[in-house]
Structure 1
């Protein structure tokens, strides 16, 4: 068995053991309303060592720099700004649930002009807005870029992505999202992977732990918890108890294929009906060997290039058919495909063909 196939088997067994193990509800689902909000802003980074935007090629950088200086009382008028130490960036952040005014959050920055690097730069005060157009945070601070670059007269070396970076706890929350958890009467639990079996288990384990019929399965991805059935309780305390309850999640059989890396991941529930597979190699080889022909001595003529081509079509001896018995497990599937001596990328084509034949009883996900 090849090294990659051994890794596939080991990875699949790890996935199988992970699926069978109990998992906390907080790791499987989200509570309706308890969510973050994405923030975005447009700002300016200063203090770069000559690696900023070329203002001639990025006029928006010049505009925001002029506006910043005017707000600080510096009248630039019609003066041309030619600084290479500034760069325009897009600033992004996530406002966590229940974030309060004054708390700090992390932000990310990414250049939008032709800046070479953001190393050593400082983000100037930048308001961050949500989808509703309101400002919820303000960012400012030193940028930690994610790479390095060095440039000489005739060469430039870049490692990582120096035009993007982060500012840990670089934004301060200025506006809170209105959500009063203490006043709600019910809450919905949304499973990240909808499944009726898993939803039923979540309902059962909640009702058993609270000793009341408070949880109801609404659909394959939603379980509703009614706090009114518990009397006068603090919803936060109840949710703290619920999110630590454990269930054994179920899911559909799935085969995930990554064409770029040739990676194949299969769950332990994958089954293949009885099928015969043959894998052969058809090789087409075309070679070009042009030949230069010289004219006879003292003859009036020109040297010409005469094409010389050879084509060969060879069908290498096939390995024959390998039979995979019906209701095969994951290990048997790997062993059956490995019996053909195929490479991982050939195995991808075989799995696609088996799925097209209706013999692969699993969802085929190709990335």
Structure 2
């Protein structure tokens, strides 16, 4: 194995890969799907959390909140209207600022603030609104402004919005279409065009060829995973942990592509295999769309251990303690796939010899 030879082969893969149907499809398909879903649910260009306010005492805070670009603010005239808006999802969060709100804070009196929260709203939207409220209160009235915020959930907290139910499937598509299809299609293409023999006539080894094709799959898969999460406003404070899981997922997808590509001889057969493996790869994402299906069924699929940690972090605010078991299982699956690729490379090398 030579890093220089791998680099040369990887640059060749990048140059000629863009002409491949599979390469183009792997990039375009997830993007089109996520853009369609976001446009359908109106969230691609309006990712701001929606705050509803009743300003009974003409509080200064409301004027400052209006100037915040990170929040979509709307004022309501009655508490019933506000609660209805929150309960139906028209507003993520609703707050009633009483007539004496500002004066009580100035006097240093403990002020209780009831905040209505839509049960289906995203955790990040709630966090943004709560942070904005506290920031404005303390910025105007001082760091020690005595405010006690009590959240009240309205609507069905267990009912996941349809857009969020599709996100796991979109993420799996982004990672596995590129990570799986690109290296497998590249190997099959080399076989069909009989160019792999020409490559082998150079100092390049079978290991160099497999690694270069695998690296291309990892790179594209990793980039697509990040891009899809960005388009869906799914990144949060656990950025590095999400990046780690995406990287591991890209390795898993690429190894699977190499394994399949090593055994397939033509493009038609590859199409059939990709269709056949679709249910196994995207099964956990499909199950997430239908909450009635027990979650334990999803755990039977290897890709569950890619999807679940990402969703736990991006949608539920989980951290390492929440997802570490899934990550360790994912690493174990990757180790098995890498071992299989190693066996294939050794057998191919022996056959060539």
Alignment TM-score > 0.5, same fold: no
The structure showing larger relative contact order (alpha-carbon pairs under 8 Å, at least 6 residues apart) is 2
Higher helix content, 1 or 2? 2
TM tier, smaller: under 0.3
Question: Could you state the TM-score of these two structures normalised by the residue count of structure 2?
Answer: 0.24
Higher strand content, 1 or 2? 1
